[in-house]
Amino acid sequence: MTILDRIVESTRKRVNAEKLAGMPQKNGIERSPFVFEKSLRRLDMAFICEVKKASPSKGVISEDFPYLDIAKEYEAAGAAAISVLTEPEFFQGADRHLSEIRKAVDVPLLRKDFIIDKFQIEQSARLGADAVLLICAILDHAEIAGYIEEADRFGLSCIVEVHDERELRAAMDAGARVIGVNNRDLRTFEVDISNSIGLRKLVPENITFVSESGVRNADDVEDLRKHGVDAVLVGEALMRSADKKASLTALRGMKP
């Protein structure tokens, strides 16, 4: 069983328990519909900055995890959006991280979890998300299309995450407006940012194209920009930085 299989199995058990407990209360903060995808289109290169304590491949990234302060730093640094890990077992995330960050910042929030049930779409909206992640490696065409339709009901954007051409075609056929190319193979966890560059030419300009994982420096960002990538999602490189504003400035190719 792969790590991804184990995560999905764990998620299924978690979601079944959450469905029995019922929907969380709405956080009461009104958000404009589809603000996440609009934000990614406002800049030449948009940055989605990740709030993440741990990962299966790297273990604990941040022992000291002041997630509210981290989110506020990202907002001050000019992040176009913030990605918040809520998966508890493998990434040590929590739904409350998302709901509390929603109250602390005005930046669009992506709930980064493993969506395998429509229940999680409304749940994400109630927690304060502006977008959810749909992973082609764990969903079929009908599920992707159905989840996008369900997300539209709540004004949520979807990043449909792909890793290869087959998944990319499936995402576009399902109606994805935002496609994220994961440079990390979720089955082997090997990373190669050229994966984004190779797939970019297959995606029309009206679809927002996000490169995920493996972005380490300004040269990586500039290479992706030259090949027409609209946004990058950066996690570990920022989470390990003591000065996140300076690190994001450096990734933009600017002096602090």
Q: DSSP character for 228?
A: T
Q: DSSP character for 136?
A: G
| pTM recorded for the entire structure | 0.94
CATH numbers and ranges of domains, the chain: 3-20+31-251 (3.20.20.70)
Is residue 13 part of the annotated active site? The answer reads no
Is residue 87 part of the annotated active site? The answer reads no
Among 87, 212, 244, 247, the one annotated catalytic: 212
Is residue 30 part of the annotated active site? The answer reads no
How far is 181 from 197, CA to CA, in rounded Å? Answer: 9
Among 37, 39, 50, 247, the one annotated catalytic: 50
Is residue 222 part of the annotated active site? The answer reads no
Confidence (pLDDT) at 190 = 78
> pLDDT tens, 192-228?
889 999 999 999 999 999 999 888 889 999 999 999 9
Is residue 58 part of the annotated active site? The answer reads no
Among 55, 124, 157, 182, the one annotated catalytic: 182
71: nearest Cα among 41, 96, 42: 96
Is residue 57 part of the annotated active site? The answer reads no
Where the chain has pLDDT below 70, the residues are: 186, 254-256
Give percent helix, percent strand, percent coil of the chain, each to the nearest 5: 45, 20, 40
Among 39, 73, 87, 112, the one annotated catalytic: 112
Among 52, 55, 83, 157, the one annotated catalytic: 52
